[in-house]
Structure 1
């Protein structure tokens, strides 16, 4: 099957402009040669539409799916990780194709500082996907200059295939089911709304169970008679004690000791009732919030996610006399301080899920690998930064042929020593690598 022509792509862009209006990017799913962008549509059925960017070199294609394909093996791709970090939960803005570039589609997500631009090249043997944010760019393949585009003449008799025909032929070539490529009335895959609703129902059941447990505890505390027993002992002693109150008394202790114990227990029970009542009110409030499972509530949830991502994803500000090292294959960036003050500043500015590296049993700089929370860092990447740390940290002191142990810890497990001016820390949950110079 041949790649869509410029005219066919223009029709596809017009179609997707309507299909993705006000949709929100919910899923980024990478395979070996395809990238699926799952958009949640608030006003159309089915709710999910998957834009499939086929990165096949000879025959790139822009497909449309309404269900996730079955029996496909996911594969980690740097572009997918980048999109998950910078474009997920962003609203679709527009999709364009220009006469000057030819078969190059531009997709715009989000607004302002959190916007993301996807340039998808459907040019045979030069296919590529280039993703750009405000200050970062990443691509599926190495970026090359585009060939000059030959505009289509007005009188061209080029055959223009229908979108349905092209999509069906493409899905057949890729081994996707017919149901995935056509708009089904009933979807077997759970939509994001259905997943959200299921999770909310589970949370609701847990909260109700916790509510019943706390109510039982409050009743138990209120039924305890420590105060009454203490008052009785105070006035009448232990000899004429009611038989049912014997469980509150230790007959090996004196009258005054038992009286003191009863009053202490009564005071503790009152405090427990107050604390349990506060928790009860808090859980009742949470239950009220969980009972609304409407689609409008889910839309509010999605909008809130987008706002949180927009406000909590500022560019990293790394200051000081720092050394920088970029991992070419993953796009990750690592930094290393040049002094104790730089090292402490670097550690304090890092996020809990960043990686901290240090030479074991040797004084050295701190190296920090910045990453997104769910972004994996391969052993090869860790070793590359470890080698950089050894060479930079030991410099001329490093002995050829000697192996040095490098400690790797998530920053949340690294604590600076209070008042220490030498940049020393304590850590736990560490891994180690041996690095040969």
Structure 2
């Protein structure tokens, strides 16, 4: 960020009297609610910025020591001073919070300084309480660790003399976000769609490589016919025969190769019957596998469609939660998918089997969702006996629509506790005591 921009933003921030709420909402982004105005401070190295936005959907929760101190020291704190260091791109927000015994002074230092970009929490003596990024003395003269005195950065050798007037700070802050969003959104969409296309291509190759069920059924019939012909001609087969020439049931000549190492002629028919049974079982399994691959491809196509139509990064991030731990990796969700929004686990069936699985796994207090009067994926929101916020219900309903239908328009999504849902047959259910959410698919 440029120095003149920071100076004018600081002047804008001086009108606020308190910090109502504060939290980290992305790896390098801190959301500060000044009075009732949320403002975002992105402290990414090389791409730091300050912006405002209205469509934020929280997808991550942070509970590191930095986040705990951030909440403890600044939430509901009074603002004593907001200033920018002379000729440096560092904002200092000084606050006063009350405890049972005394008022506590704390400083949040936001440094928009290239490779040194950081958020540092200081006590009244400017000792470090916590920092977004810890810096070791072995890598820099300026150690940034809890309990250490924060040394000043060397003065900037060159600072822009540009003094452009920002006519409307609020409009400017929204524009910063929109400009940044579009660039990041386009890049993220490109990466995720490429990944999904590769997965779809792999699944389609598997689908095309599957044997044909009819061919396998025909092979089963041939082996079964051989077995029956053998049974009908056991008296003509000698123990040392390697093949036998017979007429089939239509009077046509046929030569049957006798399997080697046969102890008795009575075993021969059993061998052919077993071959027929294996071909039929393989045909049945391929049918199931083909349906499974089709459902996976359809699910990925709908995921790709959601990415293509995403209006913000959070809509995409919901679809790609952080990887499970090594221990949890053993569990593979083949027929249903798990998404996480603000810590709430949301399960969605990829096919009928997946819908059945999540219905059976759900607890009585979990929330169940389904499109009204239209076949759709089932959704389960794990509640852990908590109340589900309206924004979580809305996002889950949107997932239900996006992964169930392709046509744009308005849809109604019914939801109720799992205890109110009765399974009739497979994934067909009856439900009572439900509410409805309206979702527009664009």
* TM-score calculated relative to the size of structure 1: 0.33
What TM-score do you get using the length of structure 2 for normalisation? 0.32
Q: Which has the higher strand share?
A: 2
